Amino acid sequence: MNTANALATAATTTLPLRMALTWVLAILALGVAGLARPNSIRLVARTLFAVGALACLGLAVLALGFLLRSQTPEVLILPLGLPDLPFHVRLDTLSAFFLLVLGLVGAGISSFSAGYFRAGEGTAPGLMGLHYHVFLASMGLVMLANDAYLFMVAWETMALSSFFLVVTQHRRGEIRKAGFLYLLMAHLGALCILFCFGLLHGGHWQFTFDAMRAARLAPAAASWTFVLALAGFGAKAGLVPFHVWLPEAHPAAPSPVSAMMSGLMLSTAAYGMVRVTFDLLQGRFWQWGLAMLAVGLFSALYGAIFAGVQTDMKRLLAYSSIENMGIVFSALGLALLFASSNMPLLAALALTAALIHTLNHALFKSLLFLATGSVMHATRQRSLGKLGGLIGRMPWVAGLALLGTLAIAGLPPLNGFVSEWLLLQSFLFTASLPHAFINMLVPLGAAVLALTLALAAYVMVKFYGIVFLGQPRESSLLEAHDANWVERAGLGWLGLACLLIGIMPQLALRLAAPVTAGLVGASVSLDGAFGWIAPVAAQQAAYNGLVLFVGILAIFGVTFLLVRLLAHGRLRRAAAWDCGYRWQTPRMQDSAEGFGQPIRHIFGPFFRMRRHLPAPEDPAPRYEVVIEDRLWRLFYAPLGRAVDWLADAVGVLQSGRLSIYLLFSFATLLLLLVFVL
């Protein structure tokens, strides 16, 4: 009887973890089900993606309940894996928070995908559905893994499944090239993570995360572990200089896949960095925080600058993802600085900013990538120079894209403002750090962050204005159509979440509070009476999105009533002032190149620019500026040439004669006998 009661108690205490595994396996099963009719777009897109949205929603509800009710970690050992290396899983506040991100955003993307995918996307619908749901499930397993073995298996599954999604249209050479680059960078990052786990076990040869938490590493070993983690997870997050795959893979992939990669996969990289740095590594040094802060700020500024000069809307959003992940890692670096200086409240403030910005980025970047997908389906165009004036023909997409644009630009009362405001508040308290060297450098970081946020807002004005405002630049745009109701449901879900977190940010802070309490021992305070956000003290800084939202609505309402009462019936409609020139054409409105010209002039050293001047006899003269990444020419191009040379040198050994191969085998055996025995 006692044994039965113990088993029943254990099953009860691990029920949320078991339910989380059930939802993850259900998502995986949906992918396998698509193989029953691999060429049926109706089964895969209209049915399985819709059910997948419900499964993601169930996962989000489960994670939300765990964060609000229970904060006790739950662990299980699965009867899978190798004889001496079974799979260990764990559900704690950190994994629950990121599972919530996965579920919320995955529900919106899957709902949109149910109306987006048509026949002829490249890969057969059944295979694409398999890769899609394996991708989602593998990210869930990464967040539930409690040992290095399961973590790496799920991580590599995530990389391989996303690779197949990137090369969905694999018949095009540039798509295959982008997929290969992505796969190469993904495996380089995975090697760094594998070596990181190799150091974390501390020589005890126990690869569970519990054993790694108990290990006490020497300062040098701990520092190398941190460097490897930063390189491995930074490569997946697209931090500079590991960013080169991101602006190539995102435009190559279908838009829902781009949304998942940017909104969810990059969040998984942030999860891994938080897990290693704040959970598994016991020692913390201020040098780590300074290094992560510097890398994050440089990546954020680099991404914002390159986003400002793009003429492809998906490449623009890809560079914007680099910028936002740089902001996340900057916040993590600042949290590490505070934690290493024994300042838990300020560490919680910066860590909260990182967590909420990860959630916010997943929401508004997925929304924008999905909106570009609707634009591409309606216009068959991806170039900003061939778009414009779509707000009148795609009002639903334009309205929801405006919501995402304002959110990513950091304007209140939307969600992007909340996390950026918290991060700026964190910078204001860096003067209390007990290091004169840091106190001298960190204010420069605050200035870089402010510049980055201003550039990001400028980029979003360019993105929205060029795509949706003005006049259509091509006659074919007059035939553009709005998204169908299924796509609108997915866009609306993400847009509503952006608005809700902006209006009631205290909800997001309550979800992040148990995470920061478990990792750094403190959480951001809230004013219980009115739900004001007071990061440290209400008399210094406080924010309430609901009050601001109501105030904005009141101003608009009063203005509308005054206009109706005082000017109703006296309005005269006329054409906009044309500066005395009546023959305005779409070519006369500002272009994407025009928006990017000030950025090219001010930040010229960042770019490698090639200008194409038309010849006098050219029947269609066109001036063109090609902007390239200097880091590609500086690091990756020479490395590629070296690999090609080495491959050619090794290729000499491949003569095609069996006798030569036997000679090589015999010589290798002799060398082994000499040097080993």
Banded pLDDT at 630 (limits 50, 70, 90): confident
Per-residue pLDDT, averaged over 118-133, amounts to 80
φ, ψ (nearest 5 deg) of residue 154 = -65, -35
Average pLDDT, the chain: 84
Cα separation, 299 vs 305, whole angstroms: 10
Cα separation, 135 vs 273, whole angstroms: 20
Per-residue pLDDT, averaged over 54-76, amounts to 89
The predicted structure's pLDDT at residue 3: 40
Q: Are strands 525-527 and 532-534 parallel, antiparallel or unpaired?
A: antiparallel
> pLDDT digit string (tens) for 436-449?
777 777 888 888 99
> pLDDT digit string (tens) for 641-667?
887 788 777 777 776 677 777 888 888
**Residue 9, pLDDT above cutoff 50:** no
Cβ–Cβ < 8 Å for 262, 318: yes
The predicted structure's pLDDT at residue 529: 42
- DSSP of 568-585, one letter per residue? TT-----PPP-TT-----
Cβ–Cβ < 8 Å for 184, 640: no
**Residue 293, pLDDT above cutoff 80:** yes
Cβ–Cβ < 8 Å for 286, 339: no
Count of CB atoms within 10 A of residue 20's CB?
Answer: 26
**Residue 138, pLDDT above cutoff 90:** yes
**Residue 458, pLDDT above cutoff 70:** yes
**Residue 595, pLDDT above cutoff 80:** no
Cα separation, 273 vs 262, whole angstroms: 16
- Its sign, for the CA torsion 541, 547, 549, 552, is negative
Cα 414 to chain centroid, rounded: 18
Stated pTM of the model = 0.89
Higher pLDDT, 567 or 481: 481
The predicted structure's pLDDT at residue 370: 94
> pLDDT digit string (tens) for 309-353?
888 889 999 999 999 999 999 999 999 999 888 888 889 999 999
Cα–Cα nearest to 263, from 103, 119, 500, 378: 103
> pLDDT digit string (tens) for 524-567?
876 544 566 766 655 567 777 788 888 888 998 888 888 878 77
